[in-house]
Amino acid sequence: MSEKLTTEDTMTEMQQVMRLTRQLPRNAIIKNPAGTWSFAGRVDVGLMYARKDGQPLTPDDLDDIRMGWPATSGLTHRTWPTEEAAQAAAHAVRS
């Protein structure tokens, strides 16, 4: 028998995840189950999202991300094929 989760349960779980991600270093590189690489923790927005059409992020895109609508706004999560490629992207953001 499965247990029903309440809104309060979901909020508590989200708060726990937020606490854990704050403990990660800025722009922590992680390997995804699919074998690609991405970032976790406190991530610069340019490393987290990209436009599906390949264009640079716009101020409107940033507003959509802040509002929690990246998927419906034509944005996707960024991934890299290798850890080295992800490190190079992070270095480019810092420069």
Is residue 49 assigned to a domain? yes
Q: How many domains does the chain have?
A: 1
Q: Which residue, 14, 46, 13, 54, is CA-closest to 27?
A: 46
Q: Cα separations (Å) of 88 from 25, 42, 52, 83, 91?
A: 17, 17, 21, 9, 5
Q: Which helix (H) or strand (E) holds 62?
A: helix 59-67
pLDDT < 70: residue spans in the chain = 1-5, 21
Is residue 21 assigned to a domain? no
- Mean pLDDT, the chain, whole residue set: 85
Domain holding 54, by residue range, is: 26-94
Separation between Cα atoms, residue 63 and residue 85, nearest integer Å: 27
Q: Cα separations (Å) of 57 from 1, 51, 60, 80, 92?
A: 45, 6, 8, 18, 16
Per-residue pLDDT tens digits for 71-92: 777 899 999 999 999 999 999 9
Is residue 89 assigned to a domain? yes
